[in-house]
Structure 1
């Protein structure tokens, strides 16, 4: 406790005393927006003046990662500060699509202890969606949005899957059809402005989790056909408009300097033959959503806090979505339980310029429950694997084979084009030891981690037997 108080006092000394009381927090999360789908990240055909303004007034990160290359696990990691394989789930499973146990501690629960009001406006997809595990049971005071995704096809008519729009626990829109999809970004923006306005006199946390640009796409008439990037470009430019409305509201209410605003995508773009031109771009990265190559989990991320964060910075320090929970905790003055083991790090020293290095020594690329790779400051070690493993069910379609250990220098080879494992055997050996450390603590598809969380009395990871049986049937083929 005393250590935590000392850290808080130290951080406040380091921060200019330019804000009154606790800062507000806004997370502007987009869904499947690629690394290259923002003007200031190199998008050639997209106009994103508000995203670009955010970068001019804050810090643009070039090595920001989600903790998973898929929506649900990524959002669960954001909320809990933990790798999905560490997160406890109902029935002691470790699912391919993480469903956090209601005993998991999430950001709004941490902030509630020190007086914050919290809202999620947009897509939840980080827990069960009825009376347990929905946003209201995990600390949020208000929910307006969809419990989960609305399909993964190019057109909404290509699937029977539909979601609803909820206001708290009441159905606001029964089923989201194309007409409703076209209005989601506008509706979420208006709801967000209303929440900010109504809570301007007290500290708040707004989690604005847009459904776009996840397919099927939707865009309002005021942006349809207006961009040079086709329908996908129209969607991105409407998201940029949404961010602009939030920035304008903060300025009008004189909340600008007292608000930490984070823009980030939940994972890379969904690039699949059935989606075609309705997907984004991860250039110059390799891979896309559902893959453990850089394009799957390296995402655009900009953080702005006027007069606290030096404007116009670009940082290659490795950060993750998991860092938001400990950072918000530190800046709000809340205490995380001492026994809670999380993977996120407090970014306050990095954001305030006290340090320039990443607080992470290593980052682990889990693809569902399988460890695919590990990164340190510049090296990425990729482990051998088979293509399209059956135990991953339909998600296997994006998994390609890696026949031998691969090593990439991400500083000089961001596109992961040249395997240099034979040139640096000492790096390979060191990172392989770290792989075993991660497998021991967090687990892997075929083993249970010593520090993975389990809350129920059921056997731990009952589905792991299915994987082991399948692995045995491969007759010694390396996985």
Structure 2
């Protein structure tokens, strides 16, 4: 651990703007973000049916992190956490879907631009800055270039990735935030499929059906369409990597590949369980990371911001609650954190859940146990959810499938993650683990107090029907309540709590 810390400091000094004379000596960085992809839907994470050869090669040539967790299984709150290095409730309204990040909080690409990096965002953005308070200055520019990454033949957000890499200024190091719309519903990858590029479409027979879904043709076809989008995302990751190799800058480029939340299926997206909150995370940097490395150390999505800033030798704002992953790049067995915390706030439906992981256990607190965790509206509208409803109405659900409809739910859940990777066996009432539950409960309470978390008295309510997924006939924003942490001014709290 000491050697890792020394190496981390050495790297930071080497790449400090005060020491580096030539801008191109500093590492480039690309963060590839898939949309709505569960951690085990990449081939390198053990899915034999997933076709992700380019990401698999990056993992084989770099570091695969096997215990990486998001702070929210919800698109914009998750991305806001990554870009600020803060927990969702510490980002203000951005803890809930489609709302802005508090204006007092810096985004890490701002610091990269200040340090002389060329910065670009291409694809899904989903982030914005909130209203300025009296006395606040406008936020500095985070990206030199922003585009949606789409054209008439490509709705996946990656249409311009290679061109941006080609057209970048050659006298500056670069940072690219490449965020796909793949694999968000409604499957435009099927309509835009190019077999010459992506290979044959996935077939219903070729997919892997989780225990909590119905194994039938409609569900398998739904999953095949999802797999197609995962493969399309992988293709464009490969195209960018090839371009970097041709430019002879691949060795000095840190590449991170991850997703913002789990697959858009029942018991995945918006869940605090691994199917929603765990992410694949591949780090590739030939100049520093040895090939074929695997780490079982806990990391959080809020650790991305300090990692990238450390790599660039840029200043890390005091608002960042994460820790740098640099020690893991030289020693994958190093420990940078003991706990990973996640939260579930409003995403189409009223919710307030919190969780803590310690590498062995997952402990969940649900402050709205009266409601089912059926998933977001796009999942409730899916063929896969419809098949679950049909099985439910025919009294044919297994216990794993029934979980999607269970209400009331347990207020607390405890799982041994290695023995129960799908988290189907709740151990909260098992006396053998009572001490573990009590320890994690106290740590979660300590984290909530330290970070200024709250359960709002007036919480955002449902804006969709939980049974059909249809939008409710209510006035625009009438469902919005007070975001978590507002009562304690959590946007001004920088304490990370236990880690």
Q: Which region of structure 1 is more displaced relative to structure 2, 260-269 or 97-106?
A: 97-106
Match for residue 304 of structure 1?
284
Q: CA distance change for structure 1 residues 131 and 184 in 2, over 3 Å: closer, same or farther?
A: farther
Match for residue 180 of structure 2?
210
Match for residue 439 of structure 1?
448
Match for residue 36 of structure 2?
32
Asked if the contact 1:193/1:249 (under 8 Å) is kept, the reply is no
Cα distance in 2 for partners of 1:425, 1:248 equals 52
Residues 43-83 of structure 1 deviation map (CA, whole Å, 9 limit, x = unaligned): 33332211110111011122111210110100101110011
Asked if the contact 2:103/2:130 (under 8 Å) is kept, the reply is no
Runs of 4+ in structure 1 deviating by more than 6 angstroms, as ranges, are 5-8, 129-132, 392-399
SS in 2 for 1:349: helix
Asked if the contact 2:96/2:483 (under 8 Å) is kept, the reply is no
Q: Are 2:154 and 1:139 aligned?
A: no
Match for residue 11 of structure 1?
11
Cα distance in 2 for partners of 1:399, 1:125 equals 29
Cα distance in 1 for partners of 2:340, 2:124 equals 26
Offset, 1:389: 7.4
Cα distance in 1 for partners of 2:438, 2:279 equals 28
Residues 413-462 of structure 1 deviation map (CA, whole Å, 9 limit, x = unaligned): 222233334212222221111121122123132389xxxxxxxxxxxx97
Q: Are 2:321 and 1:343 aligned?
A: yes
Match for residue 271 of structure 1?
265
Match for residue 309 of structure 2?
329
Cα distance in 1 for partners of 2:97, 2:229 equals 29
Asked if the contact 1:259/1:305 (under 8 Å) is kept, the reply is yes
The within-5 A match list for 1:49-448 is 49-89=53-93, 95-127=96-128, 138-145=141-148, 180=152, 182-185=153-156, 188-219=158-189, 220-223=192-195, 226-229=200-203, 230-272=224-266, 287-337=267-317, 340-353=318-331, 356-368=333-345, 370-384=352-366, 385-388=368-371, 401-421=408-428, 422-442=431-451, 443-446=453-456
Q: CA distance change for structure 1 residues 191 and 100 in 2, over 3 Å: closer, same or farther?
A: same
Task: Quote the RMSD (CA, aligned, Å).
Answer: 3.7
SS in 1 for 2:40: coil
Offset, 1:344: 1.4
Offset, 1:395: 9.8
Cα distance in 2 for partners of 1:308, 1:138 equals 30
Offset, 1:28: 0.9
Asked if the contact 1:20/1:258 (under 8 Å) is kept, the reply is no
Cα distance in 1 for partners of 2:379, 2:456 equals 16
TM-score (norm 1): 0.73
Cα distance in 2 for partners of 1:236, 1:13 equals 38
* Count of residues paired in the alignment: 393
Cα distance in 2 for partners of 1:462, 1:190 equals 38
Q: CA distance change for structure 1 residues 417 and 389 in 2, over 3 Å: closer, same or farther?
A: closer
Q: CA distance change for structure 1 residues 298 and 365 in 2, over 3 Å: closer, same or farther?
A: same
Cα distance in 1 for partners of 2:316, 2:122 equals 25
Offset, 1:393: 10
Cα distance in 2 for partners of 1:307, 1:8 equals 14
The counterpart of 2:482, out of the listed 463, 469, 475, is 463
Residues 377-422 of structure 1 deviation map (CA, whole Å, 9 limit, x = unaligned): 21222225514279x9969977854325332222332222333342
Asked if the contact 1:364/1:371 (under 8 Å) is kept, the reply is no
SS in 1 for 2:425: coil
SS in 1 for 2:155: helix
TM-score (norm 2): 0.70
SS in 1 for 2:32: strand
Residues 198-239 of structure 1 deviation map (CA, whole Å, 9 limit, x = unaligned): 234311100110111101122234138822343333322222
Asked if the contact 1:76/1:126 (under 8 Å) is kept, the reply is yes
Asked if the contact 1:271/1:288 (under 8 Å) is kept, the reply is yes
Offset, 1:374: 1.3
Ranges in structure 2 where 5+ consecutive residues have no aligned partner: 204-223, 347-351, 381-403, 459-479, 488-499
Residues 248-304 of structure 1 deviation map (CA, whole Å, 9 limit, x = unaligned): 1011001011100011011100114xxxxxxxxxxxxxx300111111110111110
Offset, 1:129: 10
Ranges in structure 1 where 5+ consecutive residues have no aligned partner: 147-164, 166-172, 174-179, 273-286, 449-460, 469-479
